[in-house]
Amino acid sequence: MATPLRDHVIAYLELNHKIVEAGAVDLLLKDRQPLILCRAVLDVIGADAPIITQEMVEEVVARQISPRPRLGAPSSSAGTSARGAAPSPREPFAVLREGFTPPPAHQDPLRAYGRLFQDRYRRLSRMLRGRPGLGTVDAIRDLGHGAKEASIIGMVCDVHVTSKQHHIVLTVEDESGSLRVLIPRDSPLAHQPILSDEVLGLALTLPKDGGQLARVEALERPDIPLTRAIGRADQPHRTLFLSDLHIGSKSFLEDEWGRLIGFLRGEGPDAGAAGGIDCAVIAGDLVDGIGIYPHQERDLAIGDIVEQYAELGRRLRELPASMPIVVVPGNHDAVSPAEPQPALAAGLAKSLPDNVRSLPNPSTFALHGVVIEAYHGRSFDDLIPALPGTSYSRPTDVMKRMLAMRHLAPIYGSRTPLAPLPRDGLVIDPAPDIFVTGHAHTFSIDRYRDVLLLNVSTWQGETEYQKMRNISAVPARAAVVDLTQPTHRSSVVTIDASGRDVQVRNGIPA
């Protein structure tokens, strides 16, 4: 019987216009990161080969410089299971994409950034090619040979509003050159904000006169396909989603955390709602960290970073020991702040219980066949100011735009530092079934093109620093999702431990 992950692999290759032999699928599924291997196979065979054979996959595997570690045998650079332990073999858990790729030694930073943006451009343009709205895509340097219309795929270098007419002038570039294009102020396209460094498909009307700008007639983002295979568990499984524990802060909500633990242990009137929860995902800011903002030491109950992780280990041991816990770091954790962030160093992860699987931020993994994208959410700090109408109170609106861009943090040079790595680990690929973030310290749930969006609160009360930044926290909430139909409205349950008793609410809150 086909497993959900097998369906994902086949669907992913179909989206890339490939038919795949059964033996090739078997081989892909044996890899620790099947969809990453799919990507490598697609890169090697190119656009012209319609069929992926077992031999092709074998060849790509053979080309790998070093064998990939199997699940549960973590590498030093990537996700690590605390104390090196594997998740229970009964848990069909597979890492599909670790956002962090270690940098090559002695790299020139400028060239490294060049490679990063080239990788982003190539991967996102691959998603855009073949769109009916774009037709044949031309290289920018080949435009201007008498054609009236053309389509290009470009990364946005600059967005400029003209001072008198308020038209929008975009400067975009591809691998062949750059071009300035016009979006007139009366165009419907002028009302949607365009961000620096996002990758767009543009259908253009070309000017007769070389002195005029090409006009944008249509704009396509890589986006989530409207039709795709949705991952579903074939047995009942429920997953708990949490974020922003901030262990070590004086504002850690000890009573509320205690109520959550009691609920998970089956205490209280609504404890039945805890039945079947067999995995937890925590979306970063596991601890409060040290020196993250000015005078943070005044807000700390534990002023030693190693002790903060030791306390995190104690808190996570309060969760049922049988429950695997997947964690990614956030901007308060003791890893490099540049994104993608590596997983916790082994010296810190050793404080965590054996059932914790520590991954980089972001990471994509399959849980019982459901594809989950976990990202802490630091880029909300850049995207909320850049997207009018969005706010920290509804980060899911920003998450929709991330999915449309198929990128978690496109803007270079703002508050989210981007690491100069050879592979852009912030590209969202493959499309997830569940997309979870934190960072905003609020709570919102929504859906977008059959992707469930979760922004899952915090276990820290409001600090003076947050009040100064005008951030109103909505703490002590968690979400539980039924993985048998993860994108269905009725599959989500909100656990609210902010009051005297834990409240359980079904469905997506209005």
**Contact residue for Fe ion among 197, 198, 244, 299 (CB under 5 A):** 244
Contact 279, 436 (CB under 8 A): no
Judged by beta carbon, residue 81 or residue 460, the one nearer Fe ion is 460
- Annotate each residue in 188-227 with x if it binds Fe ion (CB under 5 A) or - if it does not, as one string: ----------------------------------------
Q: At what angle do helices 4-15 and 34-45 cross, to 10 degrees?
A: 30
Q: At what angle do helices 54-63 and 34-45 cross, to 10 degrees?
A: 100
Sign for the CA dihedral angle at 54, 57, 62, 63 comes to positive
From the list 49-57, 185-193, 238-246, 334-342, the region that binds Fe ion by CB under 5 A is 238-246
Q: According to CB under 5 A, which residues from 260 to 289 bind Fe ion? A: 285
- Total residues found in the chain within this entry: 510
Judged by beta carbon, residue 442 or residue 491, the one nearer Fe ion is 442
Contact 423, 364 (CB under 8 A): no
Residues 6 or more apart whose Cβ sits within 8 Å of residue 77 = 100, 101, 102, 342
Q: According to CB under 5 A, which residues from 22 to 81 bind Fe ion? A: none
Contact 444, 393 (CB under 8 A): yes
Amino acid identity, residue 208? K
Cα torsion through 227, 229, 232, 234, rounded to 10 = 130
Judged by beta carbon, residue 151 or residue 466, the one nearer Fe ion is 466
Query: Residue 439 Cβ, how far from Fe ion at the closest point, in Å?
Result: 6
Judged by beta carbon, residue 80 or residue 249, the one nearer Fe ion is 249
CA–CA separation, 312 and 332 (whole Å):
13
Query: Residue 440 Cβ, how far from Fe ion at the closest point, in Å?
Result: 8
Query: Residue 448 Cβ, how far from Fe ion at the closest point, in Å?
Result: 23
Query: Residue 336 Cβ, how far from Fe ion at the closest point, in Å?
Result: 17
Judged by beta carbon, residue 197 or residue 285, the one nearer Fe ion is 285
Query: Residue 243 Cβ, how far from Fe ion at the closest point, in Å?
Result: 7
Judged by beta carbon, residue 48 or residue 297, the one nearer Fe ion is 297
Judged by beta carbon, residue 60 or residue 497, the one nearer Fe ion is 497
From the list 220-228, 243-251, 272-280, 413-421, the region that binds Fe ion by CB under 5 A is 243-251
313: left (phi over 0), alpha (psi -120 to 50) or beta: alpha
Judged by beta carbon, residue 241 or residue 448, the one nearer Fe ion is 241
Residues 6 or more apart whose Cβ sits within 8 Å of residue 495 = 240, 260, 263, 273, 477, 478, 479, 480, 502, 503, 504
User: Coil, strand or helix: which one is 103?
Assistant: coil
Angle at 411 between CA 130 and CA 433, to 5 degrees: 55
Judged by beta carbon, residue 93 or residue 380, the one nearer Fe ion is 380
Using the rule CB under 5 A, is 333 a contact of Fe ion?
Answer: no
Task: Report the residue closest to Fe ion, judged by CB.
Answer: 285
Query: Residue 304 Cβ, how far from Fe ion at the closest point, in Å?
Result: 19
Judged by beta carbon, residue 32 or residue 477, the one nearer Fe ion is 477
In DSSP terms, which residues pair with 281 in a beta bridge?
A: 241, 326
Q: According to CB under 5 A, which residues from 395 to 424 bind Fe ion? A: none
Query: Residue 356 Cβ, how far from Fe ion at the closest point, in Å?
Result: 19
Q: Parallel, antiparallel, or unpaired for β 214-220 and 178-183?
A: parallel
Sign for the CA dihedral angle at 467, 469, 472, 476 comes to negative
Query: Residue 252 Cβ, how far from Fe ion at the closest point, in Å?
Result: 11
Query: Residue 246 Cβ, how far from Fe ion at the closest point, in Å?
Result: 6
Query: Residue 332 Cβ, how far from Fe ion at the closest point, in Å?
Result: 6
Which residues in 185-220 are b (16+ Cβ under 10 Å) and which e? Answer: eeeeebeeebbbbbbbbbbbebeeeeeebbbbeebb
- Distances, alpha carbon 46 to alpha carbons 18, 61, 223, 288, in Å: 10, 16, 22, 46
Judged by beta carbon, residue 466 or residue 487, the one nearer Fe ion is 466
CA–CA separation, 381 and 360 (whole Å):
20
Judged by beta carbon, residue 31 or residue 285, the one nearer Fe ion is 285
Which residues in 432-446 are b (16+ Cβ under 10 Å) and which e? Answer: bbbbbbbbbbbbbbb
Query: Residue 26 Cβ, how far from Fe ion at the closest point, in Å?
Result: 42
Considering CB under 5 A, how many residues would be counted as binding Fe ion?
2
Query: Residue 261 Cβ, how far from Fe ion at the closest point, in Å?
Result: 20
Query: Residue 460 Cβ, how far from Fe ion at the closest point, in Å?
Result: 7
Judged by beta carbon, residue 159 or residue 338, the one nearer Fe ion is 338
Residue 147's nearest CA partner among 185, 218, 203, 199 is 203
Q: Which residues bind Fe ion (CB under 5 A)?
A: 244, 285
